[in-house]
Amino acid sequence: MFIKFFYTCKAKGLRITLSEWLTLQEALDKGLAGSSLTQFYYLARMILVKSETDFDKFDMAFDECFKAIRTENEVGEQMLRWLDKSDMQELAHEEARKWLNEGEDLQIDKQDVEEKFKQRLKDQDSEHNGGSYWIGTMGKTSFGNLGGNVGGVRVGGKTGYQSAFAVVGARKYKDFRDDRTLDNRQFQIAFRRLRQFSTKLDVPKTELDIQGTIDETCNNGGCLQIVMEKPRKNSVKLLLLFDSGGTMIPYSSLMNDLFQAVNKSNHFKDVKCYYFHNCIYSKLYKTPECENGDWVDTDWVFRNLDSDYKVIIVGDAAMAPEELYSDSGNYRGPNGGLSGWEWLQLMKRHYKKIVWLNPKMAPGHAPWREAETAIKDLLPMYKLTVEGLNQGMIKLMTNKA
């Protein structure tokens, strides 16, 4: 079972080293999880998972391997429904205060409470409230919620007794994953990586130089010496090329988020956006409708946007091989005597920094996606996820070709 768990975690994308797995085995040998599957869940997650972005992957692997296992202290859905008194919390808290004021100091035997709890789960077949024996609410029982007992096992309620599977089933970490597609906020955060500041501006020194001020003040015997500097501006110039229409229609909302994020990131020195359909040819369109005549020459872009522009191409690369390799493969406009493949080669030759972001990129070399596989060999391609976008931004900013 545990070997299967290891391989399932790896299959879900968790990066687990042999050392970490042996650490988990050692922790189990020392009894740190006891006989509780819930404690094992938290112990394994603590040792094996390095980032909250992987919590959901871990939960899915755990559910797949252990969902058939039931434990003595697993709380069923019927029990949780009996204990749901969310509409009576104010009254319940008032009753609980009365119980606590009248109660005596008790010595709680944790092992005894847990054994009784397991027995109550086996025996109880109905809802109970206000008593002191069964699992219920608003009483003095050691099991339940909204009652007046200072010790025991809390079941349900706001903080609730949760088995591992209650945590797993909630899927509350799915939005933390770094392999899901992005939203506007994540685009903005990623674009912050595209910062390359320059102070070579012919403008007055209007910003406080904090480090310079500290140094000069120290050199001046502690008397404040203000030092000003020229404002720094992001020197990055960005060219965005969006695939539009056809198989990209399902990603229209995602593309709009990306476009809006770029517009909000107004710290770039210059941003230019153009559109294409399936592949880049001799014309780049000014709008996502890709209407004939509403375009600029790709050669004009080469002449007017110098090689310092960082280029981000966004598309699914889902085209027939002839659309990529034939000099007549562009069925929506002119080819300019070259194939899409040759235009992409010119693009790579002209611009030093260029990446392709793909919203549905296949893993590795996919023979059934011939065009995508070919483009991967020509240009750095990343999946349009949180992790992929960050990798793409790093690639654009690195000094290496």
76-127 residue pLDDT tens: 555 555 555 555 445 445 555 555 455 444 444 555 656 666 666 666 666 6
Alpha carbon distance 269, 187 (integer Å): 18
pLDDT score of 17 more than 70: yes
The per-residue pLDDT for 370 is 92
pLDDT value at residue 384: 85
List strand residue ranges (DSSP E) for 117-170, in order.
Answer: 136-137, 143-145, 153-154
- Residue 168 pLDDT grade (very low, low, confident, very high; cuts 50, 70, 90): low
CB of 140 within 8 A of CB of 96?
no
pLDDT, averaged across the chain: 77
pLDDT score of 346 more than 70:
yes
Contact predicate 103/139, CB 8 Å: no
Distance CA 58, CA 15 (A): 11
Give per-residue burial for 212-222: e unless 16+ CB within 10 Å, then b. Answer: ebeeeeeeeee
Q: How confident is the model at residue 72 (pLDDT cuts 50, 70, 90)?
A: very low
Task: Answer with the residue of higher pLDDT: 290 or 179.
Answer: 290
Q: Return d(Cα 6, Cα 10) in angstroms, integer.
A: 6
At 312-330, the pLDDT tens digits run 999 999 999 999 999 999 9
- What's the whole-number mean pLDDT along residues 169-176? 58
Vertex 28: Cα angle to 27 and 31 (nearest 5): 95
Does residue 393 surpass a pLDDT of 50? yes
pLDDT of res. 299: 97
Q: What is the pLDDT of residue 152?
A: 47
* Alpha carbon separation from 377 to 23, 278, 322 (Å, rounded): 40, 17, 17
Whole-angstrom distance, CA of residue 209 vs CA of residue 130:
68
Structure tokens at 245: 């229409």
DSSP category for residue 86 = G
Of 239-248, 326-335, 337-346, 364-373, minimum mean pLDDT range: 364-373
Residue 350, pLDDT above cutoff 70: yes
Reference 307, options 251, 241, 352, 256; nearest CA is 352
Long-range contacts of 333-336 (CB under 8 A, 24+ apart): 333/277, 333/281, 333/282, 333/283, 333/292, 333/295, 334/281, 334/282, 334/283, 335/281, 335/282, 336/281, 336/282, 336/283, 336/298, 336/299
HSE-up of residue 279 (Cα within 13 Å, Cβ side): 31
Name, in order, each residue with C-beta under 8 angstroms of 326's C-beta and a sequence gap of 6 or more. 339
- What's the CA gap between 57 and 12, in Å, rounded? 6
- Give rounded-to-5 percent helix, strand, coil for the chain: 45, 15, 45
pLDDT tens figures, 131-161: 666 665 655 555 545 444 444 444 544 444 4
Residue owning tokens 């042999």: 18
